[in-house]
Structure 1
Amino acid sequence: MAHPASPFLPILILLLVAAVTAIAILVLSGKVLPLLKPNNPQEAKLRPYECGVPAQQEGARHKYSVKFYLTAMLFILFDVEAAFLLPWAVNFKHALWTFAAMLSFMATLLVGFIYAWGKGAFEWEH
């Protein structure tokens, strides 16, 4: 009697295909792609970035304003809000109790938004 194939065989095959693909991409990018693209270095192209603003020489240890971190936290807050709103909007027709849960979630976010607005978190200073 033959043994049935392992249920993990498709996963093993997928991992092998992924490993072979990754190795092939690395090999081809180092050997073949430099032959296909033009080598035309220019002074502007060799700079760290091409926006026209010279790089600051302050180093990596200069202090950032707290406004930067506050802006980042507000972005995360409203990004999470959007991530929660989409599944709720899709499943809203299935359960009415989700409406109350979303209203409480939105009320909590509104309180945080009003607090941040009152503290001047949305005022951008140079």
Structure 2
Amino acid sequence: MFTLFFMSMIIIIIAMIVMYLASLLSKKSLNDREKMSPFECGFDPMNSSRLPFSIRFFLITIIFLIFDVEIALILPMIMIFKVSNIMCWSYTSTIFILILLIGLIHEWNQGALNWSN
């Protein structure tokens, strides 16, 4: 019991030393106005360097990533069709596709798939 406590204290002390050294040796960044502004050949910027970001583009990107991962998960299901139990495979595939369809219907009802706006 004592050795477990002793080892955990040593691990905690080593971790604290490493965190302290990392913060001591890390690059310091000063939030200077000149360093935070964009570089345009020494001139002041003509307009704002921070452009507004379209949230619709972001949502479409997230939906694409979700369905991209879906394809990566469905392909191995097709490959193991012959070697697995047919009932287990059918149940798992049906539940997986049902969850994806419910998500798609939800996105459709929320209007995330409308490009007209």
TM-score range, shorter chain: 0.5 to 0.7
Structure 1 unmatched runs, 5+? 1-56
- Which residue in the other structure is 1:119 paired with? 110
Q: 1:102 aligns with which of 89, 93, 116?
A: 93
Query: Does the CA contact (< 8 Å) of 1:92 and 1:99 recur in 2?
Result: no
| Structure 1 residues 78 and 58, CA gap change in structure 2 (3 angstroms) | farther
Aligned match of 1:69 in 36, 55, 58?
Answer: 58
Tell me the TM-score normalized by structure 1: 0.50
Aligned with residue 68 of structure 2, among 68, 79, 87: 79
Q: Please give the per-residue CA displacement for 1:31-63, whole angstroms capped at 9, x wherever unaligned.
A: xxxxxxxxxxxxxxxxxxxxxxxxxx8655112
Q: Which amino acid aligns with 1:101?
A: T
Instruction: Report the counterpart of residue 33 of structure 2 in structure 1.
Output: none
* Percent of residue pairs bearing the same amino acid type: 33
Partner letter of residue 81 of structure 1?
A: E
Q: Given residue 123 of structure 1, which amino acid in structure 2 is its aligned partner?
A: N
Alpha-carbon distance between aligned partners in 1 of 2:82 and 2:115, rounded to the nearest angstrom: 40
Q: Which runs of 5+ in 2 are unaligned?
A: 1-45
TM-score (norm 2): 0.53
- Residues 56-89 of structure 1 show CA distances to partners (whole Å, capped at 9, x for unaligned) of x865511212111110110011101111111111
User: Whole-Å Cα distance in 2 between the matches of residues 102 and 58 of structure 1?
Assistant: 52
Q: Is the 8 A contact 1:67 1:121 kept in 2?
A: yes
Within the candidate set 77, 98, 101, 1:88 is matched to: 77
Quote the RMSD (CA, aligned, Å): 1.9
The Cα shift of 1:100 comes to: 1.0
